[in-house]
Structure 1
């Protein structure tokens, strides 16, 4: 069912690191991520803003870029362990016939721009400037007190092939979603918790969401309350709820440009090699939430396209139970 994992990959990715988003109104987006999500501004200029979580020492985990290509994602970032891993990554992508280009990126060391086989835009770096952690400076807390970036979820037109590619790079599966023998979703990781990259089969490449860990479960509700206060009540898209896979409490919010951010309260550990991935049946409601209603249709099908990437349609689009179909069935019964 799952592709084999290369436990000695060609280069060493360590974790999800940062995401770069295009936005239409930098001030508006900045306010959303500071006042509601609770990130802190590390640095800003006329058309760019660097933010990080309260417990993050690295310069940024979210970069907002004012652009005419608003609502698109420039890149998702991963850290590699050593500088030499960047050179190995360059050699790997070139040998695969995939894009690989050295670029200058502020506040990072050497940076490599690459794309996976479906066109997902990725940024690799081994270093980043550091700043003091602020997790003990309670007077600076705002919003939902986001602590650190945790993972991304992407759409790929073929979940199995995408999972196979990242398995070659050393990503392991904590859980996976299947319908019969067909792989629909893979929940993959490099750090010692269950998720750095989730892959769902759908038209792609697209960024479905990126996620931040919050320190307390009540911070998720605080984020919802503040979304309502600041005019984003209808952008509390899914939750609060508890995931079937993983068991984390969560909520999904949409920012001013429609980018989706998840707030969640942490994961279990997956360090040990003997731990087997957990299979989830796509036909089971428990894959949605442990309790509560299904997600609305837009949660399943809307996502941020990657800037400059061609959208590839999948012939086997998922047909999940949505909030709309659930309500329709209830009305038909009555």
Structure 2
């Protein structure tokens, strides 16, 4: 555990996630055709995809597996020295798995688990995205031209991990990776039921939600960003037209203030398409705490999320 009081600034951003799916063809069609992502590479049982605004090579690794869930989370460090510091710190914490030779698009990484058993890796050296001719944008400060397919997602925005102990998990991310706690929901006894954490100036890059099933290491959802609230509505129509189950129709969150729509992709993983949200610039941000009474009010405009939002995760333990 880090013992000094200087904030850890070693993690630059949430780089990518690996999602597991028992329906690889249908899941790929969802991300490619309905979300509008581009395929950048195929390798073994995996396909690597990117949103049109992703500044890195890819943000999603989709891997065929017997059941849905999270394969791993990829975090990029600010430098090689930052990577070494995080690896040493996590190794001493007892959560380390060890060094790997890397994966497609990035070199050696240090792999580890969080307090609830989710697998992560942190790396620094990564291949840059080289825009193919048919995707070259009109403005050279954009990574590629606008995707005109489906929901046209720009990039991976955040992820939400289910946890059997939110306090322990959020403490791990703060102490060992430098995440800051922007908002939290607590019980009357002061235990966290949801923690929203960030390493960039977004209100959150990572959320951790209480898994009341008692299971460990399950996945709640991945969120992909679009450019406006109107594009969230467009995404909902895309899902409607293509027979995708809409768990929660467009609405506005209280925490983070994002507009959203939630669906289950064909493999079973929950996916959010979102827009908006506030930014944090001040270094002395005070954590916003939501009480049970305040959470009873539901979403920003008063309606509640469906009950499945608080129970369903992948792998699905309710079968």
Q: Deviations over 1:185-226 (max 9, x none)?
A: 111000011111111122322210111110121111221111
Determine helix, strand or coil for the equivalent of 1:128: coil
Determine helix, strand or coil for the equivalent of 2:282: coil
> Deviation at 1:34?
1.7
Cα distance in 1, alignment partners of residues 51 and 168 from structure 2: 33
Cα distance in 2, alignment partners of residues 283 and 39 from structure 1: 40
Q: TM-score, normalised by structure 2?
A: 0.86
> Deviation at 1:86?
2.2
Q: Is 2:84 the partner of 1:87?
A: yes
Cα distance in 2, alignment partners of residues 93 and 112 from structure 1: 9
Q: TM-score, normalised by structure 1?
A: 0.83
> Deviation at 1:90?
2.1
The equivalent position to 1:252 in structure 2, one of 262, 266, 291, is 262
CA contact (8 A) 2:236 2:249 kept: no
Residue in structure 2 matched with residue 174 of structure 1 by the alignment: 182
CA contact (8 A) 1:5 1:167 kept: no
Residue in structure 2 matched with residue 200 of structure 1 by the alignment: 209
> Deviation at 1:7?
4.1
Cα distance in 2, alignment partners of residues 288 and 189 from structure 1: 23
Residue in structure 2 matched with residue 72 of structure 1 by the alignment: 69
Cα distance in 2, alignment partners of residues 18 and 6 from structure 1: 29
Aligned-residue RMSD, C-alpha: 2.3
> Deviation at 1:89?
2.1
CA contact (8 A) 1:5 1:171 kept: no
Residue in structure 1 matched with residue 194 of structure 2 by the alignment: 185
In structure 2, the gaps of 5 or more residues are none
> Deviation at 1:296?
2.1
Q: Is 2:221 the partner of 1:209?
A: yes
Residue in structure 2 matched with residue 320 of structure 1 by the alignment: none
Cα distance in 2, alignment partners of residues 157 and 114 from structure 1: 18
Determine helix, strand or coil for the equivalent of 2:276: coil
Determine helix, strand or coil for the equivalent of 1:222: helix
Determine helix, strand or coil for the equivalent of 1:225: helix
Cα distance in 1, alignment partners of residues 118 and 44 from structure 2: 28
> Deviation at 1:26?
2.2
Q: 1:302–1:163: structure 2 CA closer, same or farther, 3 Å change rule?
A: same
The equivalent position to 2:11 in structure 1, one of 3, 10, 13, is 13
> Deviation at 1:286?
6.3
Cα distance in 1, alignment partners of residues 178 and 187 from structure 2: 25
Q: 1:174–1:83: structure 2 CA closer, same or farther, 3 Å change rule?
A: same
> Deviation at 1:230?
1.7
